Chains A and B, each alone.
Chain A
Amino acid sequence: MEPLRPSDFHDSEPERQIEQPRLGLSGWGRFFWRQLTNMRTALVLLLLLALAAIPGSLVPQRSSNPNGVIQFKREDPDLFAVLDSFQLFDTFSSVWFSSIYLLLFISLIGCILPRTNHHLKALRQPPPATPRNLQRLENFHSETLSGDPAVLRERAARVLKSSGYRTLEQPDGAAGERGYLRETANLVFHFALVGILLALGLGTGFKYQGQRVIVEGQSFTNQLTSYDSFNPGRFFSETGLAPYSLTLNRFTPTYQFDLASGRANPLDFAADVTVTEAAGSVTESIRVNSPLSVGGTSVYLLGNGFAPWVTVTSPSGDVVFSQPVAFLPQDSNLTSLGIVKIPDGLAQQIGLVGFFYPSAVVLESGAFTSVYPEPEQPLLTFNVFSGDLGLNEGVPRNAYSLDTEELTQRTGATTGVDSLVMNLGETAELPGGLGSVEFTALPRFVSVDIHRDPTQLPVGISSVLIMAGLVVSLFVTRRRAWIRIVPGKAKESVVEFAVLARGDDPGLEQALKKLVADFSQGAESKLKSS
Chain B
Amino acid sequence: MTDFAALSLVGVYSAMLVYTASFLFFTFDLAKRSAAAPVPSLVSVGSGASAPEDERPVPRAGGTGYQRIAVTLLVLGFVFHLLATLGRGIAAGRVPWANMFEFGLTASALIVAVFLGSLFWRDLGYLGAFVSGFVLLALGVVTVNFYVDVVPLPPALQSGWLVIHVFVASLATAFFALGAGLSIFQLVRARFEARGMAKAKLMKTLPDSGALESLAYRLNVIGFALWSFTLIAGAIWAERAWGRYWGWDTKEVWTFIIWVLFAGYIHARATRGWRGSRSAILAIVGFGAVLFNYTVVNIAFTGLHSYSGL
Contacts and interface: CB of A to CB of B under 8 A. Distances in A.
Contact of B267 (A39, A258, A260, A288): A39
B277 interface: no
B59 to A, nearest CB: 19
B219 to A, nearest CB: 12
Interface string A80-104: 0000000000011000000000000
A300 B242 contact: yes
B61 interface: no
A527 to B, nearest CB: 28
B275 interface: yes
A432 B207 CA distance: 90
A256 B152 contact: yes
A281 interface: no
Contacts of A63: 247-248
Interface string B224-265: 110011001001110111111101111001101100110110
B17 interface: no
A43 B149 contact: no
Contacts of A27: none
Contacts of A42: 267
Interface stretch (B106-114, B154-162, B172-180, B193-201): B154-162
B268 interface: yes
A137 interface: no
B273 interface: yes
Interface in A39-63: 39-40, 42-43, 46-47, 49-50, 53-54, 56-58, 60-61, 63
Contact of A57 (B217, B218, B253): B253
Contacts of A277: none
B232 A463 contact: yes
A258 B214 contact: no
Given A266-B155, A269-B155, A466-B232, A61 B275 contact: no
Interface in A3-36: 5, 8-10, 12, 14
A422 B48 CA distance: 83
Nearest to A290: B240
B284 to A, nearest CB: 14
Contacts, number: 137
A261 B149 contact: yes
Interface in A466-511: 466-467, 470-471, 474, 504, 506
A453 B244 CA distance: 9
Contacts of B249: 64
Contacts of B236: 460
Nearest to B259: A50
A467 B229 contact: yes
A268 to B, nearest CB: 6
A471 B225 contact: yes
Contact of B217 (A9, A40, A56, A504): A504
Contacts of B275: 10
Contacts of B1: none
Interface in A243-302: 256, 258, 260-261, 263, 265-269, 287-291, 298, 300, 302
A460 B240 CA distance: 13
Nearest to B215: A506
Given A10-B272, A291-B243, A300-B242, A466 B228 contact: yes
Given A50-B261, A289-B155, A8 B243 contact: no
A271 B159 CA distance: 17
Given A57-B254, A92-B248, A289-B159, A39 B271 contact: yes
Contacts of B261: 47, 50
Contacts of A459: 245
A302 B225 contact: no
Given A64-B249, A68-B302, A463-B235, A54 B155 contact: no
A374 B26 CA distance: 56
B221 interface: yes
Interface residues of B, number: 54
Nearest to A503: B270
A9 B271 contact: yes
A474 B227 CA distance: 14
B243 A65 contact: no
B250 A57 contact: yes
Given A265-B154, A451-B244, A56 B228 contact: no
A223 interface: no
A401 interface: no
B43 interface: no
A91 B253 CA distance: 11
B151 interface: yes
Contacts of A260: 149
A53 B271 contact: no
B297 interface: yes
Nearest to B289: A50
Contacts of B221: 474
B243 A46 contact: no
B155 A43 contact: no
Given A289-B240, A289-B241, A46 B156 contact: no
A14 B247 contact: no
Contacts of A226: none
Contacts of B244: 451, 453
Contacts of B237: 289
B5 to A, nearest CB: 11
Contacts of A68: 302
Contacts of B270: 5, 9-10, 39
Contacts of A10: 269-272, 274-275
A54 to B, nearest CB: 7
B155 A65 contact: no
Interface centre among B152, B153, B235, B269 (most CB of A within 10 A): B152
A216 interface: no
B156 A289 contact: yes
A104 to B, nearest CB: 10
Contact of A258 (B151, B154, B224, B282): B151
Contacts of A288: 155-156, 158, 241
A449 interface: yes
Contacts of A263: 151
A49 B260 contact: yes
Nearest to A200: B246
A236 to B, nearest CB: 16
B150 to A, nearest CB: 10
Nearest to A299: B243
B243 A470 contact: no
A322 interface: no
Question: Would you list the 5 A-B pairs with minimal beta carbon distance, nearest first?
Answer: A300-B243, A288-B155, A39-B271, A46-B264, A57-B253
Given A43-B264, A63-B248, 4 more contacts: A9-B271, A47-B264, A289-B155, A460-B236
Interface of A: 5, 8-10, 12, 14, 39-40, 42-43, 46-47, 49-50, 53-54, 56-58, 60-61, 63-65, 68, 91-92, 209, 256, 258, 260-261, 263, 265-269, 287-291, 298, 300, 302, 449, 451, 453, 456, 459-460, 463, 466-467, 470-471, 474, 504, 506
17 contacts: A9-B271, A10-B269, A10-B271, A40-B274, A57-B254, A261-B149, A263-B151, A265-B152, A267-B153, A289-B155, A289-B159, A290-B240, A449-B243, A451-B244, A459-B245, A470-B224, A504-B214
